[in-house]
Structure 1
Amino acid sequence: MTAIDLNADLGEGFGRWRLTDDEQLLSVVTSANVACGFHAGDAATMRRVCELAAERGVTIGAQVSYRDLAGFGRRAMDVPPAELAAEVAYQIGALDVFARAAGARVAYVKPHGALYNRVVHDEEQAAAVLDGVTLANASLPVLCLPGSRLLELAGKAGLSAVTEAFADRAYTDGGTLVPRGQDGAVVTDPEEVVARSVDLACSGSVTARSGARIAVQARSLCVHGDSPGAVELARLVRERLVESGVRVEAFA
């Protein structure tokens, strides 16, 4: 039976402001990418989400980012490699304190936003992210895009990496995500998102924006927690995956 992890970005609020419905999403997903305070999140939010995830048996991952609260981590930034490595390790360590206090642990790392897209092509920044992971805990898997420099360098360094796909994002013919600033970058039709989810899990491929079929081999599937109707969409995706004979379970 095909197995796939279902992950979502959680804890993406700050202070009294909340973006994601963490409680409800944690009843659906198998892995939680928890914001670590650099693009969103704060200490109290990180603690709360870790406690909820631990109660529900959801795997906790550190979603690391450029230091960009104002831009939600989606603005391109040039950060020196040594500084980026230290900041990645810092974010993992901060979240792990709250995860362990809740009786769990940080089980993987996922870059966010501009950093996620940057390490697809940028070898220097990808290496810096891996240096940060190694500094924090070299046994942690890194969640990344198939064909990315991050995936390649992790393999060369003997680090664990897990590929993921996006049901609600459009793909280029090269297997990368269509930039959010372009029309059609985000797939908004719920039925299309669900159909793409099943397609990705069962066939390891998806239809790119051009209409071409491309291979996207992934062990984890991301549904964005900040999308409108995210909870119901995530539930529908999970239900349809199970109906299609897919086992939904965490990879870590």
Structure 2
Amino acid sequence: MRIDLNSDVGESFGRWELGDDEAILGLVSSANVACGFHAGDPTTIARTCRWAVEQGVAIGAQVGYRDLAGFGRRFVDATVRELTDDVVYQIGALQALAAAAGGRVTYVKPHGALYNTAVHHAEHAGAVVDAVASVDPSLPVLGLPGSELLAQAERRGLRPVYEAFADRAYTPGGTLVSRREEGAVLDDPVSVAARVVQMVTEGVVEAVDGTVIRMSVDSVCVHGDSPDAVTMARAVREALADAGVTVETFR
């Protein structure tokens, strides 16, 4: 069996540093690189792209709402035109910085509030899809299984990539528990690693109420911004290897 591991990187800004991107990139196969709207500055983004190229890790554009102060975790009531243009802008910026580093952007994944909004918000999901299709329709789109985003992507001829989260709790409906709720983020590397193995090998995950949810999984996200992110990613990688699962990009 094979699975892609992705992580959010490039989210530092100036002298403010978030996560150990270089270490994380040694453990994952795909890098969701911030594009400057929710996090990241040109130098941080360029450095992250260079590290990704050196490690042979795929570069993805992690696009978000224009919400630098809120780290992209707040809904922005943008018009469809505004959001489409914002996403096009972000993809284009990362394409340039990735090319300068000797790499290229190979997929798109929304960040934070935009990711969760695009699960059910048809207009904002459509704006992301329109942006990707207009820039490069060969770019796959990562999203939550059953989301409006992936349904629209598939209808437009874009490749949907079904994503699961290693360290986030799920509702019985298969969506992510809000970060505002207790227990939304899981922090025990051993239990998280076992959970990921079950996701990948059995296609199921246990929701907060004990419900077992069936899911399709092409890629698993291990967040890079938690205090023990590297330990968590290493535990997941080792557990997958022990289960006979190879980690490689979904392309």
What is the TM-score when the length of structure 1 is the normalising length?
0.98
Aligned to 2:98: 99
Q: Which amino acid aligns with 1:239?
A: E
Rounded Cα–Cα distance in structure 2 between residues aligned with 1:196 and 1:206: 7
Are the aligned partners of 2:108 and 2:141 in contact in 1 as well (CA < 8 Å)? yes
1:128 has 2:127 as partner? yes
Unaligned runs of 5+ in 1: none
Aligned to 1:237: 236
Aligned to 2:41: 42
Aligned to 2:12: 13
Rounded Cα–Cα distance in structure 1 between residues aligned with 2:97 and 2:182: 39
Taking only aligned residues, the RMSD between alpha carbons, in angstroms, comes to 0.8
Aligned to 2:219: 220
Rounded Cα–Cα distance in structure 2 between residues aligned with 1:228 and 1:190: 12
Q: Which amino acid aligns with 1:153?
A: Q
Residue correspondence of structure 1 range 41-190 to structure 2 within 5 A: 41-190=40-189
- Structure 1 stretches of 4+ with a deviation exceeding 4 A read none
Unaligned runs of 5+ in 2: none
Residue correspondence of structure 1 range 188-207 to structure 2 within 5 A: 188-207=187-206
Q: Deviations over 1:2-33 (max 9, x none)?
A: 21100100011101111021111111110000
Rounded Cα–Cα distance in structure 2 between residues aligned with 1:167 and 1:26: 16
Aligned length: 251
Aligned to 1:22: 21
Rounded Cα–Cα distance in structure 2 between residues aligned with 1:194 and 1:175: 19
Q: Which amino acid aligns with 1:64?
A: V
Q: Which amino acid aligns with 2:206?
A: T
Q: State percent identity of aligned pairs.
A: 60
Aligned to 1:210: 209
Rounded Cα–Cα distance in structure 2 between residues aligned with 1:16 and 1:134: 35
Q: Which amino acid aligns with 2:123?
A: E
Q: Deviations over 1:190-249 (max 9, x none)?
A: 211111111111111010000010012110000110111101210110011011011110
Rounded Cα–Cα distance in structure 2 between residues aligned with 1:136 and 1:155: 16
Rounded Cα–Cα distance in structure 2 between residues aligned with 1:92 and 1:162: 18
Q: Which amino acid aligns with 1:211?
A: G
Rounded Cα–Cα distance in structure 2 between residues aligned with 1:187 and 1:23: 23
Rounded Cα–Cα distance in structure 2 between residues aligned with 1:59 and 1:141: 12
Secondary structure of the structure 1 residue equivalent to 2:118: helix
What is the TM-score when the length of structure 2 is the normalising length?
0.98
